[in-house]
Every structure is written in structure tokens, then in C-alpha cells.
Chains A and B, each alone.
Chain A
């Protein structure tokens, strides 16, 4: 099971990097080995294979963190607390990656790295919320107390994630695709007509690849945390 995850993550992401960077653009694409030339995006359209999956993995990781938070409060098993915090940590990692890659893309499409677009504002708030989660964890010494407090926090924080990722940036007008009044349609870029079938397939492969990468990193981190926990409870 885990080896499928590892090979899947490495294989799919490698495929996406090679195909995503090397398939040529064409203003009249024929067949599967040419991407359409999207006016205004051109080569930068390829960013969608790497920027969006990091943001998506952020959502998955934060929701998994909330799930294990709920499970901890119901069963009081410290292993669920480990899982909840590890997932929040991975969510924070991918959230930072989505923010930085987004800022770089913004420089070349919107003219500046940071302009407090609704999308940038909402992801910044998410970074603060989950930064505070780790501040909270490091402030409490007793295991059970820390686990209960951070589980409750993870649930409340998880509830805000869909709002800041899917709702707020689409209610307000902004430069990010999917914002209110967006000319290309109401939805996110990968659902728009501008994307060809081959781009869409590669995009979904990338989404799966990044999710598998998340599962792999989660598993690695969990095994280390469990060993550490075991050693502490033995001594």
C-alpha cells in the first residue's frame, strides 16, 4: 500500500514536471502533444500544474487535521493528536508553498508580488491561523491538555478553511481566476474553457501526485513521532 503511494507520488510528479515544462505551446494545437496558447498567460499557464495542487493539498491537510481533532475529542487517544498536528504542519508547509508560488506568479501576471488581492489576503489569514495553532501547542506542557486544546482549535480552524479558500475569494472582485466578475467565467481556471483536454488531464495527474506526496510525508512524519512518543513513555 505505502509503496504504491511512494511510487505514485514520485512517478506522477516527475511526469508532470517533464510534460508540464516541455510540451510546446501552439496557437492552433493539434493532438495531445501541444498546449493551447492562452492570451495573457502564455508559458505561465504551465504554473497551474504546480501552484494549484499545493493549494489543494493545503485544504486536504487542514481538513484531515480537523478530522483527527474530532476523533481525539471523542476517543482521547493521543495518537490522533499526533496525526492532527502532523497534518496541520504539512498543511502549513503547502500553504506557504502556495503563497510563495502564487506571489511569484502574481509578479509576472499582475505586476507585483503582493497586492492584497482577496485571494492573497485570505491565504495570509490562513497562515496566521495555523501559525497560531503551533504557538498554542508549544505553550502547553501537559500532553492531554495540549491535545484537547489543540483539537478544539483544529476543529474551529478547519471550519474556516473552506470559507477562506472557496468562498471569500469568490465573493469579492479581484485578479485571481474565479473572483467575482472574472471574465473567464465564475469557476477556477482549470474548469474554464481556456484549458485544453491534455492540460486538464495533466492537471488532475498533478493533483493526485501531490496528494500522494502528502500521504507519504504524513506517514514518514507519523512513524518518527510515534517512535519518539514510545521512547518518552518508556523512560
Chain B
């Protein structure tokens, strides 16, 4: 893996882009979970 990336450094850049993307997705998934909880409690309250 490391050897491949040392050989093809453009993929190092791609990996960095993917790390940032994964971080944003994790944040969105957690936010989605909060919205879902809110929806469920609102349904129960009604």
C-alpha cells in the first residue's frame, strides 16, 4: 500500500480528498441520526 502510494503520488492526493470526504459524511450521518430521533419523538408527542 505504502509502496504503491510512494510510486504513484497522485493517489496520495486522492487519499487526502477521500479523508476529507469521509469526515464530512460521518458528520452528516450523525446529523441524520439526530433528525431521525427528533422525528420519532415528535411523532410520539402527537
Q: Which of A44-52, A67-75, A125-133, A197-205 contacts B (4 or more CB under 8 A)?
A: A44-52
Residues of B within 8 Å of A46, CB to CB, are 10, 13
- Is B29 on the interface with A (CB-CB < 8 A)? no
Cα–Cα distance between A17 and B34 once the two chains are bound (Å): 30
The yes or no answer to A93 lying at the interface (CB within 8 A) is yes
Distance of A220 Cα from B2 Cα, bound (Å):
38
Contact A100:B19 (CB < 8 A) given known A221-B31, A228-B38 = yes
- The one of A47, A93, A213, A224 in contact with B12, judged by C-beta atoms closer than 8 angstroms, is A47
With A43-B10, A108-B6, A235-B45 given, is the CB distance from A101 to B16 under 8 Å? yes
In this assembly, does A231 line the interface, its C-beta being within 8 Å of a C-beta of chain B?
yes
Residues of B within 8 A of A50 (CB): 13, 16-17, 20
Q: How far is the CB of A27 from chain B (nearest CB, A)?
A: 16
1-46 of chain B: CB within 8 A of chain A: 2, 5-6, 9-10, 12-17, 19-20, 23-24, 27, 31, 34-35, 38, 41-42, 45
Which residues from chain A contact B24 at a C-beta distance below 8 Å? 213, 217
Q: Is the interface of A mostly helix, strand, loop or mixed?
A: helix
Total chain A interface residues with beta-carbon distance under 8 A:
31
> Which of B6, B17, B31 contacts A220, CB < 8 Å?
B31
Task: Please measure, in the bound complex, the distance between the C-alpha atom of A64 and the C-alpha atom of B9, giving whole angstroms.
Answer: 36
Contacts of B38 in A (CB 8 A): 224, 227-228, 231
Instruction: Give complex CA distance A43, B6 in Å.
Output: 11
Which residue of chain B has the shortest Cβ distance to A234 in the bound complex?
A: B45
Q: Are B2 and A231 in contact (CB under 8 A)?
A: no
Closest Cβ neighbor of B13 among chain A residues: A46
List which A75-105 residues lie within 8 A (CB) of chain B. Answer: 90, 93-94, 96-97, 100-101, 104-105
Would you give the 0/1 interface string for A122-161, flagging 1 where the beta carbon is closer than 8 Å to chain B?
Answer: 0000000000000000000000000000000000000000
**Between-chain CB contacts (< 8 Å), 13 pairs:** A17-B17, A42-B9, A43-B13, A44-B13, A46-B13, A47-B12, A50-B20, A93-B23, A100-B19, A105-B12, A224-B35, A231-B45, A235-B45
Spell out B's residues near A (CB within 8 Å). Answer: 2, 5-6, 9-10, 12-17, 19-20, 23-24, 27, 31, 34-35, 38, 41-42, 45
Chain A interface residues (CB < 8 Å from chain B): 17, 20-21, 42-44, 46-47, 50-51, 54, 90, 93-94, 96-97, 100-101, 104-105, 107-108, 213, 217, 220-221, 224, 227-228, 231, 235
